[in-house]
Amino acid sequence: MLLAVAFAVGCSASVGSKVVKKDEVAQQASTALGKKVGRQPDDVTCKDDLKAEVGATVRCELTADGTKQGMTVTAKSVDGDKVDMDFKVDDAPAAGNSADPQPSDSASAGAGGPSVSRTEVARQGKAALTAQVGQAPDAFSCPVDLPARVNAVIRCQLAADGKQYGVTVTAKSVVNGKVSMDFKVDETPVG
């Protein structure tokens, strides 16, 4: 089961004509992501070649279990004909997916100010991870409500494959009472 919602990995590739061809970038991304999470995406496509210049970027798209996810590939270093690349997968799936794993929820005002209920945070977290990895976690729970404030953070727990993982939930944006959340699963199980 792929648990990483957002992650970055790196690798290097040979270049010709001062660019890494988009097909090579896609192949390197697929291999690197496979090593990071234990399985390769179903498909990776990149819009353009990557310039062999430090800081150059190109946008790509990966598909895993029918869900499309955007990715930014950055040239971290260039040494002769070798380009060291970093792959950063977007926190949210690409627009147009049938399942929106991070729907916004209206914030409700409670005694401590506006917040998203812990039940709703858990529901959205479970949906986000299900869309990301194609398999629902066994359980997802949060001990407290998420304050409807940008950068507010709470810790939740999920159970998957008989193991417990901590999850950091962050309020990415609050617009007209709607809260957009980011879910980051710890890489190692609890306990």
Span 60-106, pLDDT tens digits: 988 877 788 888 888 888 888 788 888 888 776 655 443 333 333 44
> Residue 183, CB half-sphere, CA atoms under 13 Å: how many?
30
**At 131, is the pLDDT very low, low, confident or very high (cuts 50, 70, 90)?**
confident
Does 191 reside within a domain? Answer: no
Does 2 reside within a domain? Answer: no
Last residue within a domain, chosen from 39, 59, 93:
93
| Measured CA distances, 113 to 145, 148, 171, 177, 179 (Å) | 11, 8, 15, 12, 14
**Structural tokens at position 147:** 């304050």
Classified as helix, coil or strand, 17 is coil
- What whole-number distance in Å separates Cα of residue 157 and Cα of residue 160? 10
**Structural tokens at position 63:** 């598909």
Does 100 reside within a domain? Answer: no
Span 25-73, pLDDT tens digits: 999 888 887 777 677 788 899 999 999 888 889 999 888 777 888 888 8
For the chain, first and last CA: distance in Å? 19
Range of the domain at 148: 105-185
In this structure, the chain runs to a length of 191
Residues 13 and 80 in one domain: yes
What domain count does the chain have? 2
